Amino acid sequence: MNRRLMMALFVVTCGLVTPVLLFAQGAGALRTAWGDPDLQSIWDYRTVTPLERPADQADKAFLTEEEAASIEQDILNRNADLLTRAPERTSASNQVDRRGDGSPGFYNNFWLDRGTTAVSTRRTSLIVDPPSGRLPELTPDARRRADSAEAARIADVRRGDRPAQSYTDLDAGDRCIQHAKAGPPISVGGYNNNVQIFQIPGFVALLNEQNHDVRIIPLDGRPHVDARIAQWMGDSRGRWDGDTLVVETQHFNGKHDQIARPLLSSGESLTLVERFTRTDGETLVYEFTVSDPTIWVTPWSVEHPMKQNPNLIYEFACHEGNYGMHNIMAGSRQEEREAGRTR
């Protein structure tokens, strides 16, 4: 069935089974009319807290209130400076959000929306395990793949330092197939950091703002699909652990950058376990653990409190008709012709 039609039917069904928010006795958790914990809302996951702990905070797991306030004020000041600075002409850089002097690159800062606040826990990183707040070491095989000539070539293409030989040199976001923010796991990006959760009895659906990707997650105990049917977003199955929705995803196709560069893994050994817990009316704590013994020496885990967004999610249109991809390829061929003339 067409993916958009499936989502439309799901949303209509949600409308017919209108949830009633009930306070569970004792726990205080919000409940649907059929008794499940109610996670339904639009959740905003913008944050200036990085995935990995900065090197200059190696032994610091949490910021003080004053440190968090200072970081947030610096960002507000920078945004105000960039908004009011004099107009200038500039050439495109290989940085989406800023050049060396901190000013925007080929996107004006006005269009970016990474947020202006640290996570409510004031952690110095979203990674909570390993305790270092950093990604684990790569396995020897993954390190060899990461250091290969092909990996370097792809990295150069994606930085804009050399022409793309093919559309396959570009990531799924450039190709408007899927964006890393949608995951899974869900991750922070330059803009469109929102996810909307829908529920009906036996199912949960996650609609990510970019690229309007939807995961429809069964809760009825059915087994995963055959491992040979690998998918861009993997195959997700959910269950309730008290008031927490636990979602296990496997059978990734290894073509997407949402967790690791495709060159590092085929996706066959990748397992993701996510946990969604609504701790109050305005907070959803999102946690996940990633495991792939072909990439990292140990699993790693993230904790990311999300905030309720009272606004709507609007359609995200990437480059309509994929003209952007045509133009990228045309530009690459022109760069090759010009390089040939200079030899």
* 211 Cβ contact partners less than 8 Å away, ≥ 6 residues apart: 173, 176, 177, 178, 179, 182, 316, 318
Residue 26 has pLDDT above 50, yes or no: no
SS3 string, the chain, reads CCHHHHHHHHHHHHHHCCCCCEECCCCCCEECCCCCECCCEEEECCCCCCCCCCHHHCCCCECCHHHHHHHHHHHHHHHHHHHHCCCCCCCCCCCCCCCCCCCCCCCCHHHCCCCCCCCCCCECCCEEECCCCCCCCECHHHHHHHCCHHHHHHHHHHHCCCCCCCHHHCCCCCCCCCCCCCCCCCCCCCCCCEEEEEEECCEEEEEECCCCCEEEEECCCCCCCCCCCCECCCEEEEEEECCEEEEEEECECCCCCCCCCHHHCCCCCCEEEEEEEEEECCEEEEEEEEECCCCECCCEEEEEEEEECCCCCCCCCCCHHHHHHHHHHHHHHHHHHHHHHHC
User: What per-residue confidence (pLDDT) applies to 18?
Assistant: 45
User: What per-residue confidence (pLDDT) applies to 12?
Assistant: 47
Residue 6 has pLDDT above 90, yes or no: no
User: What per-residue confidence (pLDDT) applies to 275?
Assistant: 98
Cβ atoms of residues 3 and 214 within 8 Å: yes
User: What per-residue confidence (pLDDT) applies to 200?
Assistant: 98
User: What per-residue confidence (pLDDT) applies to 241?
Assistant: 98
The 10s digit of each residue's pLDDT in 170-215 is: 888 888 888 888 889 999 988 999 999 999 999 999 999 988 789 9
Which residue from 98, 115, 114, 117 is spatially nearest to 106, judged by alpha carbons?
98
Residue 129 has pLDDT above 70, yes or no: yes
Bridging pattern class, strands 214-218 and 127-129 = unpaired
5: its two tokens:
């039609």
Q: Within a 10 A sphere around the Cβ of 172, how many other Cβ atoms?
A: 18
Dihedral through CA 69, CA 74, CA 80, CA 85, nearest 10?
A: 170
Residue 84 has pLDDT above 70, yes or no: yes
Looking at 43-47, 128-132, 270-274, 330-334, which range is the least confident one? Answer: 330-334
Please compute the mean of the pLDDT values over residues 264-279 and round it to a whole number.
90
Q: Bigger pLDDT: 343 or 247? A: 247
The 10s digit of each residue's pLDDT in 286-338 is: 999 999 999 999 999 999 999 999 999 988 888 766 678 888 899 899 988 98
User: What per-residue confidence (pLDDT) applies to 17?
Assistant: 47
User: What per-residue confidence (pLDDT) applies to 24?
Assistant: 42
Cβ atoms of residues 302 and 126 within 8 Å: yes
Which residue from 292, 288, 286 is spatially nearest to 261, judged by alpha carbons?
292
Confidence tier at 19 by pLDDT (50, 70, 90): very low
Cα 113 to Cα 3, 76, 108, 110, 189: the distances in Å are: 28, 12, 11, 8, 8
Q: What is the mean pLDDT of the chain?
A: 86
- pTM (two decimals): 0.86
Please compute the mean of the pLDDT values over residues 50-54 and round it to a whole number.
96
Please compute the mean of the pLDDT values over residues 48-59 and round it to a whole number.
95
The 10s digit of each residue's pLDDT in 137-180 is: 999 999 999 999 998 998 888 877 888 898 888 888 888 888 88
